[in-house]
């Protein structure tokens, strides 16, 4: 189902990892047509600016800060849609990847509100890729696992089920619990020198990547300032970043190295 001018409608839209150019065409179209936009904390101002005719309100959730309760967000969406408005619920990444899109879709369905899901590029894949880290690579990792790091009960059963180095581990919202996450894998038998990375503020001018080992990840010192979001990547694929994130060699440089 797609929105029409004659009825209220909700679009659950993925904003991607941050860069405006990584929006899908469908996402940009929904933003241009929106009457009301409820956006998450990590959505960039450049993306929000596309919704030039809409009322835009931040409803994002950030660790340790006051935020709009989820049931309030749902009530606002339902009320606005019943008044005939086109509502865009704008989420970082993809609505169905640790974004509560499923919860909101179920609530809208129960209320009889027509809605759609507009997929976005998930930061779980995009953040590592922007740092030159493929989450899978032939001969290195044939699969990857994405977990939420905000709560031990969420990630521990999954991490404990993984055989050491059997897959790339991607942790979202886990910087504050990186020591416990690293400790969980070390206790499971993962090698202390397993490569690890933290990609922060991916797809923004402030992007930065820390690389080290699983053992170093478990240490107390934080590689990033308080409040900066980041994606943790654990596995041998991290080693590819030094090659894939580097600019290609020029013909002159290759000739100087004797490779031309």
- Report the distance separating Cα 159 and Cα 142, nearest Å: 17
- Report the distance separating Cα 245 and Cα 202, nearest Å: 13
Q: How many CB atoms lie within 10 A of CB 124?
A: 22
Catalytic residue among 19, 40, 91, 94: 40
- Report the distance separating Cα 185 and Cα 151, nearest Å: 15
Q: Which residue has the tokens 């923004």?
A: 204
CA terminus-to-terminus distance, the chain: 55
**61 annotated active-site:** yes
Q: What are phi and psi of 21, to 5 degrees?
A: -70, -10
Task: Name residues whose C-beta falls within 8 Å of residue 260's C-beta, 6 or more positions apart in sequence.
Answer: 251, 254
Task: Name residues whose C-beta falls within 8 Å of residue 159's C-beta, 6 or more positions apart in sequence.
Answer: 145, 147, 169, 181, 184, 185, 188
Catalytic residue among 19, 32, 35, 61: 61
Q: Which residues are catalytic?
A: 40, 61
């Amino acid at each position: 189902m797609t929105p029409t001018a004659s009825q209220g409608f909700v679009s659950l839209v993925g904003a991607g990892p941050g860069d405006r150019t990584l929006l899908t065409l469908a996402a940009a179209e929904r933003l241009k047509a929106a009457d009301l936009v409820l956006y998450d904390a990590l959505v960039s101002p450049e993306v929000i600016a596309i919704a030039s005719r809409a009322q835009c309100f931040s409803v994002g959730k950030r660790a340790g800060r006051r935020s709009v309760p989820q049931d309030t967000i749902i009530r606002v969406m339902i009320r606005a849609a019943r008044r005939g408005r086109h509502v865009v619920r704008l989420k970082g990444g993809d609505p169905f990847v640790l974004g509560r899109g499923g919860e909101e879709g179920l609530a809208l369905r129960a209320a009889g509100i027509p809605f759609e899901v507009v997929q976005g590029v998930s930061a779980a894949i995009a953040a590592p890729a922007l740092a030159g880290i493929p989450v899978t690579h032939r001969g290195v990792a044939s699969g990857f696992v994405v977990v939420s790091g905000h709560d031990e009960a969420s990630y521990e059963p999954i991490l404990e089920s993984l055989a050491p180095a059997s897959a790339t581990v991607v942790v979202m919202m886990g910087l504050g619990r990186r020591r416990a996450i690293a400790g969980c894998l070390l206790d499971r038998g993962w090698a202390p020198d397993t490569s690890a990375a933290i990609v922060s503020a991916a797809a923004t001018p402030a992007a930065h990547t820390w690389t080290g080992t699983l053992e170093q990840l478990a240490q107390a010192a934080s590689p990033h300032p308080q409040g900066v979001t980041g994606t943790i990547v654990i596995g041998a694929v991290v080693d590819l970043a030094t090659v894939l994130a580097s600019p290609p060699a020029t013909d002159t440089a290759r000739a100087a190295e004797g490779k031309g």
